[in-house]
Amino acid sequence: MALHHRLTSMALLTFAALVASCGDKATNPNNNPPAALELNSGNMPTGRSYSHTFANAGTYNYFCTVHGVSMSGSITVSGTTPDSVLVTIGPGNSYNPASASVKVTGTVRWINIGSDHTVTSH
Ligand SMILES: [Cu+2]
């Protein structure tokens, strides 16, 4: 009886430790799924455009997943103007302008006049 009671207590303690362990993992931000990308155009063949409206101020860096970080750009979101900005992709592996600014709640539209590219946050 005493042995059985001790084993049951050990089993319960082990179970409680496992539950606590799982709880710790669930609240560990390092194990959370990655946040959705702010910019994620997917592949853009020539002629394709992609638009994104920025809700929050900040600097948003992006690159082309086809050509790597050597093809990069950034959007600065701040202030009250302009309402929108156009970024041309190409010719060549470049965003023009590479750095652009738009107001908070403003929209950036990329239009691709080159080969396949993407607009992807990094
Ligand atoms: Cu590219």
CA of 18 to the centre of ligand 1 (A): 47
Residue at 40 is within a domain? no
Residue at 43 is within a domain? no
CA of 56 to the centre of ligand 1 (A): 26
CA of 107 to the centre of ligand 1 (A): 21
pLDDT band at 10 (very low <50, low <70, confident <90, very high): very low
The total domain count for the chain is 2
Instruction: Return d(Cα 16, Cα 57) in angstroms, integer.
Output: 44
- Enclosing domain of residue 67: 49-121
Residue at 41 is within a domain? no
Phi first, then psi, for residue 108 (nearest 5°) are: -110, 135
Answer yes or no: do 26 and 53 share one domain: no
Residue at 81 is within a domain? yes
Model pLDDT for residues 36-80, shown as the tens digit of each residue: 899 999 999 999 999 999 999 999 999 999 999 999 999 999 999
> What is the CA 33 to chain-centroid distance, rounded?
11
CA of 103 to the centre of ligand 1 (A): 26
Residue at 76 is within a domain? yes
Amino acid at 34: P
* Residue 61 parent element (H or E): strand 58-64
